[in-house]
Structure formats: structure tokens, C-alpha cells
Amino acid sequence: MAAFWKGLGLAVTPERADYGARVLAAGRRDRPRHLTISHNGASRELTLPNLYSSKSDQPPLTVSGDRQGVTVIRFNNSVGDQDTIVAFDKEMSSLPKNGRLVLDLTDTPSGGNTSVARAIMSWFVNRPRSYQVHQLPSEERETGIPRQWIEQVVPRSGKFHRSLPVVRVGRWTGSMGEGIAIGFAAFGAHVEGTRMAQLKGAVYDFPLPSSGLVVKIPAERLYRVNGLPREQFIPSPVRK
């Protein structure tokens, strides 16, 4: 970690060490990752494909039940996949209208898009509901006029579940996964787990004219409907 931050002239803090470890573990986009893991005097070497070439063979959703009769729907890093809407609608249509439900967002590190997010949340509203606030700082810098708007979830005909789900999150709940979580919190749902990825904005693509490479940079600030920054949201501990 000292070598990672030395080029920027920064000392290692716990937060920077945590970030740096994740960047190094993610590796370069054009080559495999070679990791050596040491623990209690033993070492193990792993070679993993880079995150851009690895393909998941998992379906968009994994559905299971527990002994208390609760249905658990786990999103397999699929909040950006339009097929998730079809799969989620199918599963929700088969549940009792007031059946107890857990939505597991602990594996959504790639984030997603608002179409999938709103499709998921729309099952739990019977009127338009606000779930997230957007702010575009660049417009205020360019024009002097602030721009801010509230995004809403609108019900879909024939698709309504009477009881709110429990929403489960963790450190690999990122971007749109975080947006879904704060949306459900605004609706009054119980959100439990550990701190999320704490990503600080909606990412825009900026193509570089000479190389053609695309740089992804957060360009929108995101807030909860109560005005607090999204990244400051703290879920409740998991209920036993």
C-alpha cells in the first residue's frame, strides 16, 4: 500500500489501504490477475481472469426459501441486464401478494441502470414515489444555475406486491444497487447489512478523441430523498 500511494505523495490511511487493495485485486483490464495469498505461514497462488474477460454462467436471479417461509431473491450482478426485468416479473407473479420477501443486493458490484431498478421497485408502489435525487454540478459551473431533479418510481399495471421486502446489502452493493437500497428505504422498507460501496455519483462516459478510449467519471451527485448524500447511508444490522 505504501508503494501504491507513494506516487501521489500520500500517506497510507485505513481508508486508502482498503481502496488500494481493491484496485490491485481488480487488476489490469488487459491481463489476468496473479495473486499470492498468505495466511498462518501458508501461501496459495491464484491466477484469475480479468474482470472484463470473465463471463458469468449464472442466471440473472437466484431464488430460494427459508424455514420461515420467506422467499429470497438474489441478484447475480444483474441490475444492468434487461433480462432481469423479465425474470423478476416472472418470479414476483408467482408469489402470494403479501408473501414475505428478501431482496439480496450483496452481489451487485457492477451497478446497473435505472430502467431495471425502477422495474424492480415498481412492484412495491401503488402511486408515483420519489426514490433518489440527482444533481448535475457541471451545469451550475457552466451557467451559474443549479440543476437538480427527483427521480420517481411509477407503478406498472397488474404488478403490485402488498408488503415491502427486506433489502439486504453489503460492500459489494454498488452504484445502482445502492440506488435501489435507498429507494426502498424511502418507501419504508427495512434495509440491512453492512456499509455499501459508497460510490459517490452517477457515472458518465467521456470518449478521448485521440485514443478512442472511454473514461468513466462520476458526473452526477446522488442524494436520498431526505437530502442526505447516498454514500452516507448506513443500513441496519442483519436481523437474526
Interval 78-112: pLDDT, tens: 999 999 999 999 999 999 888 899 999 999 998 99
Q: Are residues 35 and 70 in the same domain?
A: no
Question: What does the block give as the cell for 11?
Answer: 500517506
Q: Are residues 168 and 70 in the same domain?
A: yes
Q: Are residues 44 and 147 in the same domain?
A: no
Q: Are residues 41 and 141 in the same domain?
A: no
pLDDT in the model for residue 173: 96
Q: Are residues 148 and 42 in the same domain?
A: no
Mean pLDDT across 219-227: 95
Parallel/antiparallel/unpaired status of strands 166-169 and 101-104: parallel
- Which of 163, 180, 197 marks a domain boundary? 197
Where do the H-state alpha helices sit in the chain? 2-6, 14-26, 83-93, 114-121, 137-143, 176-187
How far apart, in whole angstroms, are the C-alpha atoms of residue 79 and residue 169? 14
User: For residue 120, is it within any domain?
Assistant: yes
Question: What does the block give as the cell for 149?
Answer: 431533479
Of 132, 114, 93, the closest CA to residue 227 belongs to: 132
Question: What does the block give as the cell for 225?
Answer: 430523498
| Domain residue limits at 156 | 61-129+137-197
**Cβ–Cβ contacts within 10 Å for residue 234, how many?**
9
Burial class (CB in 10 A: 0-12, 13-18, 19+), 178: buried
Q: Are residues 125 and 181 in the same domain?
A: yes
Interval 193-205: pLDDT, tens: 999 999 888 888 9
pLDDT in the model for residue 67: 67
pLDDT band at 25 (very low <50, low <70, confident <90, very high): confident
Mean pLDDT across 44-53: 85
Q: Are residues 148 and 73 in the same domain?
A: yes
How far apart, in whole angstroms, are the C-alpha atoms of residue 229 and residue 227? 7
pLDDT band at 69 (very low <50, low <70, confident <90, very high): confident
Please give the tally of structural domains in the chain: 2
Per-residue pLDDT for 53 more than 80? no
User: For residue 226, is it within any domain?
Assistant: no
How far apart, in whole angstroms, are the C-alpha atoms of residue 168 and residue 237? 10
Q: Are residues 189 and 115 in the same domain?
A: yes
pLDDT in the model for residue 47: 93
Please give the residue that has the higher pLDDT: either 179 or 216.
Answer: 179
**Cβ–Cβ contacts within 10 Å for residue 192, how many?**
17
pLDDT in the model for residue 196: 96
Grid coordinates 486508502 are at which residue?
16
DSSP-derived secondary structure letter, 57: -
Q: Are residues 123 and 101 in the same domain?
A: yes
Interval 120-152: pLDDT, tens: 999 999 999 999 999 999 999 999 999 999 999
Q: Are residues 190 and 94 in the same domain?
A: yes
Q: Are residues 10 and 80 in the same domain?
A: no
In Å, how far from its chain's centre is CA 153? 17
Phi and psi angles of residue 156, each rounded to the nearest 5 degrees, phi first:
-110, 140
User: For residue 65, is it within any domain?
Assistant: yes
Amino acid at 96: P
Contact criterion met (CB below 8 Å) for 203 and 138: no
Interval 157-212: pLDDT, tens: 999 999 999 999 999 999 999 999 999 999 999 999 999 999 888 888 999 999 99
User: For residue 22, is it within any domain?
Assistant: yes
pLDDT in the model for residue 54: 67
For residue 169, give the CATH number of its domain.
3.90.226.10
